[in-house]
Amino acid sequence: MTDTQDTVTLAMPTPGGGEAMQHLRVLSIIASKTNPRKFFCPFKLTELAESIKATGVHQPILVRPLPESRIQEEIAQAKLEGREPAQYELVCGERRWRGTQMAGLEYIPAMIREMTDAQALEAQIIENLQREDVTALEEAEGYQALMKESGMNADEVAEKIKKSRGYIYARLKILKLCPEGREAMRQGELDYSCALPIARIATFDLQREALKWSLETDYRNDKRSARDVQAHVTNNYMLDLHKAPFSRKDAELCPSAGACTTCPHRTGADQDEDSKSADVCTNPPCYRNKEQAHAEQLRKQAQERGCEVLGEREAKQLIGNYYNDFTGVPGYKRLDSRHDCPIEGKTLRKAIGAKIMEQSGIKPTMITNPNNPKELIPCVTPEQAQQLLQMAGHAEAEEKLATEALQRAEREEKEAKTQAKNDYERAWRLDVLQTVVKRLQQEEQAHQADLTPMSKAGNRLAAQRLAGQLNGDDSKLLCKLLDLGKVVPKEAIKQAADDWSNPELLTGCIIALHDRGFWNRYDYETDSYKPNTNTELLAMAEACGVDVEAAKAKAQANMRAAEAARKAAVTPQTAAPKADLPQHPAARAGGDGGRGNAKKGKKPAAQASEKPKTSAAHASAQIAEALQELEGSGAAAAAQGNDGAPVAVAQAPISGAKAQGDKAAPVAAKAAHGLPPASEIEEDFPYPDDDAQQPAVAQAAAVDGGQGNTDAKTGAAVKQWTAEELVAERVQIRETATGKQQKPWIGYEGTVVAQIGPESVDVSIVRAPRCKPIRVAFHISEVEVIQ
């Protein structure tokens, strides 16, 4: 044994003698710290040990004399372990050295060579990395160590080991993987083909997200393939800069990020040839920040030029929640979409030209993309597009747009008729349902049924079974009709089946509710579509004594009342509610839609205003025509009201009022072509989960207590109007409206379209031009008639 005072003596090759081949003691050799190979498969190592034990080591390992930098460390470690200090450091052949130890052999053939640290590292990397079983991560770490120690670059390493330049760069890219990714590679959970796309992502946080997704199994419980990982990374973390809305050369857009052309996160700037052609951004947060800055820049520039800018909220009201290049923008033509230009292969902007656009004085409307608030869509109205195309000399294209306008008007006319018919069919069915439910509930309250336990149990279970099959909307509607309060809908209906003395009456309510729908069914005998007959609803109506024809007459009367309100709503307003939306394109054609062209008296503007379009009066005529088609069986006569008064009052009695001579109060149904539904409770009903204080449920069967019908236009001089008198009147919402759903509308103007209670009315409010009217319920004290 030696101690720290002993002189260190190690076996050294004879100077100038070159390499020496010897059988060295296994314990006289220690492993190298720079060996790039870190993982040795225990199963394969066991197989190698068995082979060495049987036949020995056939190929010598390569060692060098223990370097001076490790001598003191080795002496201390040997003393601690109680063994002789090692004299050699292993350079190549660690698997054979380990296998020999496992086989229990004392000696191993070795080639002893004098080598510097750099020479030893180079030999280790080249010898080990050319083997097939070395991992990609170990290979990359070896290349990195070689470049650091020897000062070589990637090109020189590629030349040294006879690999391509792209191969070396791809391996080195793995070193940019997050620590969790490297560990997954060492454990064999993540292979190189899946790791490389993840390593290209800019930040560790995003890499961890992609790594988590990659290590999960797919819907078949299979491991995700390299193709799946590549597609996921490309779609979610690599953004094509060619499609970027901003300039890649603009270094001032986001000063902290600089220009994309010199950004290290741009794959086109990477020296890896395999990724140059892609030219994508691997830093999504930076890309999104530039998108946002660019959008703000565009908004500012548009406002400075006097362009109208529609925000995200207004854009969703106009377009909806879904937008793509094929759906387009209702009522507008996009300047930069080929789908909106009548000239094939061109956009309107290219067809018109910047010079004509500037000369016309027309400023495009900038509409926010509802799917991407950072994008603005420049648009013009169809009339403006016609004018611009004519100014640019594209007569055929201008004529094509005129034809499209005519077709659009015809289509809207047809849709208006269809909508009017559908509204009528749904209105009277819902009216019948309301009356049936009310009659059945009254029967339950008036007579306590004396059923046997078996009968009651059977009826109760049947009602609960049917209640469980209702969808969410139907169960909410029935809860509201039964006035069950703020409860969980289905559970409340099931509880009602327990509480009612005659549960079969509740079963009748559910059956009538389920059969209230309207749709056109195909009739094989006549080879045509016919309305659904609603046999179950009509059977329940007959059993409850509900006058179906009266309900139909009332539906027509309500539609006429709503149409009268519609006509009143389109009259010029002196105090229109504040809105960010532009005027309807049809309204712009003859006005200032051309931004000053009307003053010049140019002929194209006049021609644009002459193009056929669906005006409010035209829509009214369409609805009236649809109503004429619906009249029959005496219902039309009942729907005429009092001597042609503006608001039609249904003469047909309901809920047994016929025998008493009572008249049914008019309740406005849904008007066609844009008016909101008045009797479709399922669309606007404040369900139990709403916190707002709403007026009572729409009483479509309310009776006026023997009083005759009153013309809606009378009583203007009275300080407080009745709910019936307010129908079809133009009103303004007063500051006394304090409900959660009513308060936001203070100061707005609207039209009363229905009476929904003794002192409650429904007001149709147009939030902004081109927006669908919104129906809100108010107490009569919360509205003021505009004289």
Residue by residue, DSSP assigns 718-765 as SSS--HHHHTT-EEEE-TT--STTTGGGTT-EEEEEEEEETTEEEEEE
Per-residue pLDDT at 703: 35
Residue among 462, 448, 442 at smallest CA distance from 511: 462
Residue 458 clears pLDDT 80, i.e. is over it: yes
- The backbone region for 62, taken as left when phi is positive above 0, alpha when psi lies in -120 to 50, beta otherwise, is beta
Secondary structure letter of residue 665 according to DSSP = P
Per-residue pLDDT tens over the stretch 577-593: 443 434 444 344 334 43
Q: Is the dihedral of CA 653, 520, 512, 475 positive or negative?
A: negative
The count of other CB atoms within 10 Å of the CB of residue 144 is 18
Max alpha carbon distance in the chain (Å)? 132
Per-residue pLDDT at 18: 59
Catalytic (active site) residue 625: no
Per-residue pLDDT tens over the stretch 738-784: 888 888 889 889 988 888 777 888 898 887 766 678 888 899 999 99
- From the list 94, 138, 425, 782, the catalytic residue is 94
Secondary structure letter of residue 618 according to DSSP = H
Measure the CA–CA gap between 100 and 98, rounded to whole angstroms: 5
Which range (35-44, 124-133, 282-291, 568-577) has the least confidence?
568-577
Per-residue pLDDT at 683: 40
Rounded mean pLDDT, 659-668:
35
Measure the CA–CA gap between 446 and 444, rounded to whole angstroms: 6
Local confidence band at 642 (pLDDT 50, 70, 90 cut-offs): very low
Per-residue pLDDT tens over the stretch 538-588: 999 999 999 999 899 998 888 888 888 877 776 554 443 443 434 444 344
- The correct answer on CATH 2.30.30 for the domain covering 729-785 is yes
Query: Where in the chain are the domains?
Result: 20-218, 238-305, 307-393, 412-561, 729-785
Angle between helices 136-150 and 154-161 (to 10 degrees): 110
Residue 662 clears pLDDT 70, i.e. is over it: no
Residue 23: φ, ψ to 5°: -95, 110
What is the four-CA torsion angle of 567, 573, 576, 579, rounded to 10 degrees? Answer: 60
CATH architecture assigned to 20-218: Orthogonal Bundle (1.10)
